Amino acid sequence: MDDIRVKICGLKRPEEVAAAAGAGVRYIGLVFFPRSPRAVSLGQARSLALEAPVGLAKVALVVDAEDALLDQIVETVPLDMLQLHGRESVERVVELRARYGLPVMKAVGVASEEDLPALQEYARVADQLLVDAKAPKGSVLPGGNGLSFDWRLLAGRRWPCPWMLAGGLTPDNVGQAIALTGARQVDVSSGVESAPGVKDLDKIAAFASAAAAAGTVDAVPRL
């Protein structure tokens, strides 16, 4: 089977970028959402992106961002992808792909089977999907809450574009999540932290290792 691609989201320190690169991670996420403990300034993000080695994709996570902010981000930070983690419409995804010429990943929150049709809608226009656990009502953060959902909802499902699994993943459960969903890409934030917004370098390595080990298993269980 192909290698599992790992994304570590919410990096804030150069040593976190180095740890991700050293562990074979394929994407790093830079958060531009002020209410998140993982938020970075434009200057911080630029420095981190410039330190990332070739081959490590830099993803800007935004939440219902207006064009003025996005213009600043794209002009200041060398990026490879935009991640839309708010209530952006299908039309907004199309608009931003055209405006910036960057691939767009759209996050979709899932809690039950009723949430699955939205994935199909966004898959028609996005370059990638991020299938995340739906944030609880009243939550300040749309993601990064350390919550998971019933992974069996995704068993056997595929979409017209690549997709990534997120939501409550840790070094201890990522193997099971991959086995149940068939995901070939996984995203983690709080699951590799020692405190909100502080990545644990050993956990980054452990997560990447566990994901890689899961990718060597040829059979996905039938449910």
Looking at 2, 3, 9, 80, which residue is catalytic?
9
132 noted as active-site residue:
yes
- Specify whether 161 is catalytic: no
Rg (CA), the chain: 16
Of 3, 67, 127, 132, catalytic: 132
The terminus-to-terminus CA distance of the chain in angstroms comes to 20
Measured CA to CA in angstroms, residue 197 lies from 29, 71, 180, 189, 193 at distances of 12, 25, 28, 8, 7
Give CA–CA dist 124/117, Å, rounded.
12
- Are 119 and 162 in contact by the 8 Å Cβ rule? The answer is no
For residue 213, count other CB atoms closer than 10 A to its CB: 13
Lookup result for tokens 């930070």? 77
Residues forming the active site? 9, 132
